[in-house]
């Protein structure tokens, strides 16, 4: 009876969360993956209560559950990727996991179930790694909180469930574990709904990229009025960056705040809300790529290796410089130099 009660409560809260996401975020990138994730969680919780016998119906009902780890990764990438495309190898990984899961569903061979578990954990691990990457450089306050919540709550829960299911497939489930599981799920779903609906109703809107272009958002953010202290800090920041403050290797926003003698959260808000940047590294890249472009096009510096220029302007190695330069110019630094010097 307790299990049924907590299952019903959790499913009701998940439906409420799905309605919240569906009403406000379906037009945003990543909103659909979040809905798939919620749908998968809902189907997973209802399975023990429905006791579906028909194989085809069972497969269709289990389809969102199978896709949950992949949806979690795709959602975290959209949340944290800042318009970067999803890696091609990631699609291959997802397709392989899906194929193994499908084969296990129809064949029911015990070995396929064992093989599928590392793939699930790999997808969840990739999502958790996405949440951790560049967490420090994330300038969107709501998105930083959402990253941490997803990392601890959703990611941690999914890892525990996959490991527990694998363990209890070979051992008897101890009495009380299902009810304890549903209490934990109810707590997580209640906390999520409380946060998204009451404490921070604009968390998803502020975190997920919208359909509008970044440049348009930058113009809107730049138009917000600044008070006297913010104006002074903004002027100080501009002077510091124009004199080469961005060249410090491995510069973090915490270090920059110390250099400007201000608090980190104030500097984050200034760069995000008034300059329109969602990631600190992208802000730094603006200055670094501009200097690199000028130096690569200068005949007097044609003898300098690209690596030397990359190190001079603050990059640790050539690879991140090439990636940032190509995002900005749609060509590699070597191609850019060859084209500019040939003019």
Are both 127 and 198 inside the same structural domain?
yes
Output the pLDDT for position 24: 62
Output the pLDDT for position 80: 87
Q: Which residues of 265-296 are buried (b: 16+ CB within 10 A; e: fewer)?
A: eebbebbbbbbbbbbbbbbbbebbbebbbebb
Are both 161 and 89 inside the same structural domain?
yes
Q: Among 168, 189, 207, identify where a domain stops.
A: 207
Helices (H), 173-297: 177-194, 203-207, 214-222, 228-242, 253-259, 264-269, 280-296
Are both 46 and 11 inside the same structural domain?
yes
Segments forming the whole domain that contains residue 327: 233-342
CA dist 12 to 15, 17, 32, 61, Å? 5, 9, 20, 18
Output the pLDDT for position 315: 94
Domains held by the chain: number: 2
Are both 102 and 178 inside the same structural domain?
yes
Using alpha carbons only, give the angle 199, 148, 261 rounded to the nearest 5 degrees: 90
Query: Three-class SS of residue 44?
Result: helix
Output the pLDDT for position 100: 87
Residue 336's domain is classified under what CATH number? 1.10.10.60
Output the pLDDT for position 109: 63
Are both 154 and 284 inside the same structural domain?
no
Are both 125 and 18 inside the same structural domain?
yes
Are both 17 and 131 inside the same structural domain?
yes
Q: Which residue has the tokens 């940032």?
A: 324
Bridge partners of 138, per DSSP, are: 279
Segments of the chain scoring below 70 in pLDDT: 1-2, 24-29, 107-110, 210-224, 343
**Is the residue at 217 inside a domain?**
no
Output the pLDDT for position 47: 82
**Is the residue at 213 inside a domain?**
no
Are both 197 and 289 inside the same structural domain?
no
**Is the residue at 212 inside a domain?**
no
Output the pLDDT for position 307: 94
Cα pseudo-dihedral 190, 193, 197, 203, rounded to 10: 130
**Is the residue at 246 inside a domain?**
yes
**Is the residue at 223 inside a domain?**
no
**Is the residue at 218 inside a domain?**
no
Q: Among 173, 207, 241, identify where a domain stops.
A: 207
Are both 201 and 278 inside the same structural domain?
no
**Is the residue at 224 inside a domain?**
no
Are both 139 and 48 inside the same structural domain?
yes
Are both 263 and 331 inside the same structural domain?
yes
Q: Is 45 left (phi over 0), alpha (psi -120 to 50) or beta?
A: alpha
Output the pLDDT for position 110: 67
Are both 109 and 240 inside the same structural domain?
no
**Is the residue at 226 inside a domain?**
no
Helices (H), the chain: 2-25, 31-50, 55-66, 68-80, 88-107, 110-132, 141-149, 156-168, 177-194, 203-207, 214-222, 228-242, 253-259, 264-269, 280-296, 306-312, 318-329, 333-342
């Amino acid at each position: 009876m307790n299990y049924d009660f907590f299952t019903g409560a959790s499913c009701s809260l998940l439906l409420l969360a799905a309605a919240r996401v569906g009403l406000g975020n379906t037009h945003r990138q990543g909103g659909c993956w979040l809905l798939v994730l919620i749908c998968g969680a809902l189907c997973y919780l209802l399975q023990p209560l429905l006791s579906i016998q028909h194989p085809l119906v069972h497969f269709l009902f289990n389809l969102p559950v199978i896709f949950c780890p992949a949806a979690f990764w795709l959602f975290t990438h959209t949340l944290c990727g800042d318009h970067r495309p999803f890696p091609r190898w990631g699609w291959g990984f997802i397709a392989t996991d899906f194929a193994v899961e499908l084969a296990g569903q129809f064949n029911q061979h015990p070995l396929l179930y064992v093989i599928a578990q590392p793939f699930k954990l790999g997808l969840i691990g990739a999502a958790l790694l996405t949440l951790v990457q560049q967490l420090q450089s994330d300038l969107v306050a709501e998105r930083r909180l959402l990253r941490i919540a997803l990392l601890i709550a959703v990611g941690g829960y999914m890892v525990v469930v996959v490991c527990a299911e694998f363990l209890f497939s070979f051992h008897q489930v101890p009495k009380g574990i299902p009810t304890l599981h549903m209490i934990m799920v109810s707590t997580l779903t209640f906390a999520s709904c409380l946060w998204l609906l009451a404490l921070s109703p604009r968390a998803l809107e502020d975190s997920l990229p919208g359909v509008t272009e970044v440049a348009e958002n930058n113009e809107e953010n730049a138009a917000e009025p600044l008070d006297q202290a913010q104006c002074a800090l903004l002027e100080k920041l501009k002077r510091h960056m124009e004199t080469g403050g961005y060249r410090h290797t491995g510069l973090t926003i915490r270090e920059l705040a110390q250099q400007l003698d201000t608090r980190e959260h104030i500097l984050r808000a200034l760069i995000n809300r008034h300059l329109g940047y969602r990631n600190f590294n992208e802000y730094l890249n603006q200055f670094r790529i501009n200097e690199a472009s000028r130096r690569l096009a200068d005949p007097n510096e044609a003898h300098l290796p690209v690596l030397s220029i990359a190190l001079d302007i603050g990059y640790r190695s050539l690879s991140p410089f090439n990636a940032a330069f190509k995002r900005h110019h749609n060509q590699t630094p070597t191609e850019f130099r060859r084209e500019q010097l040939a003019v």
